[in-house]
Amino acid sequence: MPKKSITELVLVRDLLDTVGGQDAIELVKICEKKKKMATDEEISKKMKKKVTDIRAILNKLHYRGIACYQKSRNQKTGWYNYTWEIKKDRIAEIIGEQQEENLEKLTQKKNLEADYCFFDCNQCNERAVFEIAAEYNFICPGCGGSMTSANDPSRQKELSGKIKKIEKELEILQKMK
């Protein structure tokens, strides 16, 4: 069975798009297929883009630790040649950190919503716990609109589903490292 490309994961594509733009995804695919370090000129030819554009993307990826390079001097011209490599483990590490943070926030939100009774304003969507809403006679202190109960069992299921999804994604990322 052929090994799956790291760029097949939506989270990876989103990260690469955020860091280096849409072309960063194609750049990583090319480097992944090559299975060894590639020069910016080689990548430029395969992507049919200007070398300066490729270098800009590589530098953005390098800033985040996703791409690394080796520098060698051409003895004839005196110019430097850069050969680049994509660090898959760094991609997995960055996404893992983001997902751990998301998981923690969702877990806190789920626990908070399980422990407290919330009321939402029908007009401005301001949220308040029962004690505050009762203190204002279930009238929104911000806009004067009426407040209704916001505790919904389906919301707990939705949060649990999101938490499970992130946990599965974290398992996949651990296997990639």
Q: Is residue 143 within 8 Å of 126, Cβ to Cβ?
A: yes
CA 122, CA 155: separation in Å to the nearest integer?
A: 18
Residues 117 and 162 in one domain: yes
Residues 99 and 153 in one domain: yes
| Number of domains making up the chain | 2
Go through 150-177 and write b for each residue having 16 or more CB atoms within 10 A of its CB, e for each that does not.
Answer: beeeeeeeebeebbeebeebbeebeebe
Residues 50 and 125 in one domain: no
pLDDT, average across residues 102-119: 90
2 has a pLDDT exceeding 60: no
Residues 50 and 122 in one domain: no
Kind and range of the H or E run holding 63: helix 51-63
**Confidence grade of residue 3 (pLDDT, cut at 50, 70, 90):** low
11 has a pLDDT exceeding 70: yes
Range of the domain at 119: 91-176
Domain limit, last residue, from 86, 114, 147: 86
**Confidence grade of residue 172 (pLDDT, cut at 50, 70, 90):** confident
> What is residue 86's three-state secondary structure?
strand
Q: For the chain, what is the mean pLDDT?
A: 89
**Confidence grade of residue 1 (pLDDT, cut at 50, 70, 90):** very low
Residues 80 and 141 in one domain: no
- Residue 22 pLDDT: 93
Other CB atoms within a 10 A radius of the CB of residue 8 amount to 9
Strands, E assignment, 105-159: 118-121, 127-129, 147-149
Q: Is residue 121 within 8 Å of 132, Cβ to Cβ?
A: no
Residues 135 and 66 in one domain: no
**Confidence grade of residue 108 (pLDDT, cut at 50, 70, 90):** very high
Residues 139 and 65 in one domain: no
Domain limit, last residue, from 86, 117, 141: 86
**Confidence grade of residue 141 (pLDDT, cut at 50, 70, 90):** confident
Q: Tell me, what DSSP letter sits at residue 118?
A: E
**55: CATH:** 1.10.10.10
The model carries a pTM of 0.76
Domain limit, last residue, from 35, 55, 86: 86
pLDDT, average across residues 145-151: 86
Assess if residue 52 is contained within a domain: yes
